[in-house]
Amino acid sequence: MHREGHVGAALLAYAPVGFIVFVVGFEGAAMAGAVGAGLLAMVPDYDQHVPGITHRGLTHTVWFAALVGLGLGLAGVAIGSNDGTLTAIGLGVFGLLVGTVTILSHIAADALTPMGVEPYAPVRDDHYSYDVARAANPIANYGLLALGIAASGVALVVGNALTNM
């Protein structure tokens, strides 16, 4: 998929997380997480700019998703540490979720293409390709973007309605 499709997939995957964070009273964090997901959506494709790294290789695995999630989780702990243990843990878990969910959404979106992905490499060589659309298909990319925006919008509207009851 291209940028639009990956941003849409990230927003779609993040919407349930954002909804829960919003409903429990952290509206600003929920919004920041959506922005973060959108910004992280293309990180796995940076492999195309690093010599010696295969496209859709290491950066398109669950291991990389866990690494990004762990990195953001540790950043969250560091940011929240001045405000107490509970805040540090909360921000750590939130960072872990945003990072991991976003990278997994990228992998899932690439699995929709004929090229597919090997998300468990090098441990397992399972290959996933649902061959729904080519990566450059504008209908698939913009459709996924619209779906992600719609899911985020629904999460926001429903979350707001529930918190204002």
18-77, pLDDT tens digit by residue?
A: 999 999 999 999 999 999 999 999 999 999 999 999 999 999 999 999 999 999 999 999
Alpha carbon distance 100, 44 (integer Å): 12
- 91, 94, 133: which is closest to 14 by C-alpha? 94
Alpha carbon distance 95, 144 (integer Å): 24
* pLDDT band (50, 70, 90) for residue 165: confident
Task: Flag whether pLDDT at 88 surpasses 90.
Answer: yes
